[in-house]
Chain A
Amino acid sequence: MVFIFMFSITEVCGAKRVGYFGPAQFYIALKLIAAAQSGFPVRIESIKNELPLPRFMALKNDTEVRYGTPAEFHGVKFQVPHATLEKNSYKRTDEGDKQEPKSPPMSPICSPPSSPSTYQRIPLNYGYGKARGGLEQQHGAPYEVRHSTHQQDGPSSGSYGAKSALTCSTPNRSVSVEREQQDSSTQYSDDPWRITEEQRDYYINQFRSLQPDLNAFISGSIAKNFFTKSKLPILELSHIWELSDVDCDGALTLPEFCAAFHLVVARKNGYQLPETLPETLLPEYLQAACLKPIRDCALFDSYSEPLPSSQQTRDFSRTEKSSAEEVPDNSALLQDGKKDDKQALKVSTTLKTIPKEFQHLTVKAAAQEPNALRARPRSRSYSSTSIEDAMKKGEEPPTPPPRPQKSHSRASSLDLNKIFQQSTQAVRSGWLPPPPPALPPRPSVSQTEQPSEVELHPQMNRPPSQAEENSSAKKEVVLAQPPSKPARRKLRTEAQGLETPELSPTINVTSSLPAVKPHLPVQKQSSKQKRAIQTAIRKNKEANAVLARLNSELQQQLKEVHKERIALETQLEQLRPVTVL
């Protein structure tokens, strides 16, 4: 190539501006080379044309040749942007190096190794439908489009029936052809260890649900409970933590959390965990990305501005299309494309499923009552995107989570489990951003708050532990609550008609804390208060009953243990004279 061409290509593709050849720049550069070789001017617009593959003369590796043929084959097959094909066929420089180590992680999903390893898979195909494992790519429509991985359909079509994926993704592809070329830069190809915008947003929302302050940490126990829901084995979770908690402080910052979440999702999708943290998941790398909501494509600033929102809506609509198992109502919600709805879904679905672990999620959601009301009749699915669906595969079943401690089984295991639960709950209750409850001694004000906590908890699968948490939380929080109580009462009256009134107070707590309104109509309050007091009394009685039962069980165990001890001591006594002899 003539140097002038190369120089101008470098400039146009943005490498000069950015300072390096990233995947985006590389692809564009290749495309521009093809354009130049075909006689088109070196401009961005020229890559939109259908161009033959660029001809490279230098390398004569087997790999080069191997990549060339299938690429051409796919070039014929798909009349879509060749940039995507090119980038796979001419993996020479850093791209090539990067992909080699990545191919092993992809191997569980890849077709037999005969296919060129650089044919990049969709990194994380969160099953839109039920499909997992091998069928993931068929549901990776948005990712296919965004990552421009058309070529993979070729070798994998035999194995995975990706033709259906092809058909479902081609319309999408045609829609987004233009955007795709510009997006290829923003989507960082098919690196499974890169976090896309959609994923990042989801992770950030999850982070927020655990810890509202995005700059703060998630403590180890909370993160542990959260990730345990994903039903991965503890060993793997431990390894994931090891990888992602870079500063080894026992807590996760936002980028660390994103990395950990990403690894969890990757593992659930069949990828093997890497030995070391990939550089795209490093906190420093993610920190910069997390802080920038807009995709950091320096190249196509003008194009990318309108993209995020439109793509999001497009994604959601696609989600609706392809997720057969989702309740249709969910998708209706999804089309709003708002994150609030997502959170509302989360809130409502957690109410429905009420696995204990989600309690803190519901508590932390902010001002979600109207959405909660609307979304509640939905099924349990968490999903606003397929990502959540994937996570939800682990969290979805309304059946109790893997922990066995719910049941009141006899024997010593109960003690240990209870103790362990108490300790985690104590921590968790400490994390609950000012949970609403108050102690009985407090007059009317507290009565309204009690139902919130008490109602919330007995619904959980493990009433005894709930009650314990209840009491401990009450003690912790009462002192901190006075200013917000009037506000909570007011909001509570609004929400009185809801099926799950207990949700709103907890939600209101978080949302109303900043806005204290001491002046409220009193008449409304008194009638509501009476009702509230009655419910509170009822709930307290329930809690009492539960606690009493627990107490009696523990007493029994204590007796048993005493008996054992006595038996052992008598044995010892019997043996002792023997040894003396």
Chain B
Amino acid sequence: GSCDLLCSQNYPLYIRSVPTENELKFHYTVHTSLDVVDEKISAMGKALVDQRELYLGLLYPTEDYKVYGYVTNSKVKFVMVVDSSNTALRDNEIRSMFRKLHNSYTDIMCNPFYNPGDRIHSRAFDTMVNSMMMQVC
């Protein structure tokens, strides 16, 4: 699986993949899924504060995996790629994972030394993401 954090200009702030081979493939997947994310964002004209977006379906013939997206109020996008083989993952779990990501992200923002748009080097964030992904994958 992989977990990515992209900013409003769609460049990545943070990318973490487990297992780490095929990382490039995950990058590519995330990038292609950005189009769908943007589409969904623009579609939600009203009630824009719908924090959660579930994207299900980008299935390749060779392997199956699901891509989930999540957008914050400041147009920061979280994208998560998980193997479809991991069918034990339910919607709620994905939601909670995104919520945790969001919380960690706001903690990072509280750090005055962090400039929005920088890559994220926070170790706390790293540990959190790692633990989350270990849990899932």
Contact = CB atoms under 8 A, between A and B. Distances in A.
Interface of A: 219-221, 223-224, 227, 234-235, 237-239, 241-242, 245, 248-250, 275
B135 interface: no
Contacts, number: 37
Interface of B: 107, 109-114, 121-124
Contacts of B122: 238-239, 242
Contacts of B123: 239, 242, 275
A470 to B, nearest CB: 24
22 contacts: A220-B110, A220-B112, A221-B112, A224-B113, A227-B113, A234-B113, A235-B121, A237-B113, A238-B113, A238-B121, A239-B121, A241-B112, A242-B111, A242-B122, A242-B123, A242-B124, A245-B110, A248-B107, A250-B109, A250-B110, A250-B111, A275-B123
Nearest to A233: B113
Contacts of B112: 219-221, 223-224, 241, 250
Contact of B111 (A219, A238, A275): A238
Nearest to A220: B112
Contacts of A235: 121
Contacts of A249: 110
Given A224-B112, A248-B110, A249-B110, 8 more contacts: A219-B112, A238-B122, A239-B121, A241-B111, A241-B112, A241-B113, A242-B124, A250-B110
A249 B121 CA distance: 19
A220 B107 CA distance: 13
Contacts of A234: 113
A502 to B, nearest CB: 29
> Nearest 6 pairs between A and B by C-beta?
A220-B112, A250-B110, A238-B113, A224-B112, A248-B107, A237-B113
Contacts of A245: 110-111
A235 B122 CA distance: 9
Nearest to A273: B123
B108 to A, nearest CB: 8
Contacts of B107: 248
Give the most central of A221, A227, A234: most B CB within 10 Å.
Answer: A234
A330 B114 CA distance: 38
B21 to A, nearest CB: 27
B9 to A, nearest CB: 16
Contacts of A223: 112
Give the most central of B109, B110, B112, B122: most A CB within 10 Å.
Answer: B112
A227 B111 CA distance: 13
B59 to A, nearest CB: 34
B111 A220 contact: yes
B57 to A, nearest CB: 32
Contacts of A250: 109-112
